[in-house]
Amino acid sequence: MFGFVFWLVAAHLYKPSQVGIASTLVSSMNFITYFCLLGFNSTFIRFLPHAKRRDEQIDTGLILAFIAALIVSTVYVITAPLFAPKLGLLHTNLLFGISYVILCTGATINLLTDSVFIAYRAAVYNFFIDGIIGSSTQLLLPIALVSLGAFGIFAAQGVAATCAMLVSIWCMISKFSYRPHFKVDRTTLKEVLHYSSGNYVASLLNTAPTIIIPIIVLDKLGAAPAGYYYLAFMMANVLYAVSYAVAQSLFAEGSTNEEAMKQLVRRAALFTSALTIPAMVVLLALGPVLLDFFGKAYGAHARSLLYILTAAAPIMGGVGICSIIMRITKRTKALIVANATYLLVTTCSALLLVHKGLLWAGVAWLIGQLATLLVMLPSVIGIKRLVQPTQRA
């Protein structure tokens, strides 16, 4: 909800071309943050609850994620103009470039601290820190930073995440007795390597198109269409969140009760359908009206795209369920292959089709999701086989 209001404010304060460039910067920051977690988000949730040396584990994750974020965001600032010339503001404006690196680093650490609170069964801190403090900051900044143009929109999100990161670290120290020692623990590194590496690679492959497609749209169609694309995708993403939530519930239940996988999967599929289909009807009916709230140009250019992205929701629901089955049954290699297929097909489709118009960015997304589902199905088609003892960890 806060995200919707943020982009609504931004759409009225900034030009569509500025929103387009800013949305690409935000997408790149989101990808960098996930990339630089290095799998520690999963490791924290898995091992911190029973760890005897919690501080050492947290230190290791925060330090390595911090270093990774500095390096990766710096490389992005240097190389972005090579594959996305319209992002040259990062290269030509030293202050923007340095700020981008700092804000990406802050967002990375903030996302990692979220996993610490989840591991401590204190996710309520995420709600107050990210949902209240971060979102409130985010809503106020677009007005104050309007003179910065497109970078002002990005900075609003980056500063909000960095502020949330600082509050999170303070809460960890004051409420959970975290005492940083700034040391890297080798045991934690081994746990990351053995537990998270495969799923980490699969997650990166799955996340990559969210940054690649906006860059392709920006390069082939221009800054304004990139803004139209991002806002339509943001609206459709509210629908996708339904499938994601059901899939995560299946992950939690299936991990503790593999013998009931067939029943759990059937229930997840029915629940996804029951929630997704009505939500699709609502979005198809109200989506064009909501786009017009952002401005008449958004409604005129992104309406057909929103329809296509909405049509992808049932397929994404199937992909989400298949992905969780593959994670639970340790079919990591198959999951990597499926997500690599998704990345390749989506990217190639976008490169071949987007020049025809914004609608075709949605078609590329739909084709990528369908190809992924077709690759996944052979691995999960026999639920009975999935729960045999040989398939358990």
Cα–Cα distances in Å, from 365 out to 160, 288, 311, 317, 350? Answer: 29, 20, 10, 14, 8
Residues with Cβ within 8 Å of 390's Cβ and at least 6 positions away in sequence, in order, are none
Q: What is the pLDDT of residue 252?
A: 61
Q: What is the pLDDT of residue 57?
A: 86
Q: What is the pLDDT of residue 1?
A: 58
Q: Is 177 helix (H, G, I), strand (E, B) or coil?
A: coil
Residues with Cβ within 8 Å of 379's Cβ and at least 6 positions away in sequence, in order, are 322, 325, 326, 331, 334, 338
Residues with Cβ within 8 Å of 20's Cβ and at least 6 positions away in sequence, in order, are 150, 217, 218, 222, 223, 224, 225, 226, 227, 228, 229, 230
Residue that the structure tokens 């077709």 belong to: 374
CA dihedral 317, 319, 321, 325 (to 10 degrees): 180
CA-wise closest residue to 115 among 189, 42, 204, 202 = 42
Supply the DSSP string of 270-311, one letter for each residue: HHHHHHHHHHHHHHHHHHHHHHHHH-HHHHHHHHHHHHHHHH
Residue that the structure tokens 């198809």 belong to: 284
Long-range own/partner contacts, residues 74-80 (CB < 8 A, 24 or more apart): 74/101, 76/28, 76/32, 76/100, 76/104, 77/101, 80/28
Q: What is the pLDDT of residue 194?
A: 66
pLDDT digit of tens for each residue in the chain (393 aa)? 567 788 888 888 888 888 888 888 998 898 899 889 887 887 787 677 777 778 888 998 899 999 999 999 999 999 887 777 777 788 788 899 999 999 999 999 999 998 888 888 787 888 889 888 888 888 888 888 998 998 999 999 999 999 999 999 999 999 888 888 888 878 777 766 766 677 788 888 888 898 889 889 988 998 889 889 988 888 888 888 888 778 767 766 665 566 667 787 888 888 888 888 888 898 888 888 888 888 888 888 889 999 999 999 999 989 988 888 887 777 888 889 999 999 999 999 999 999 999 999 999 999 999 999 999 988 777 555 554 444 433
Cβ neighbourhood burial of 182 (10 Å; 0-12, 13-18, 19+)? exposed
Q: What is the pTM of this model?
A: 0.74
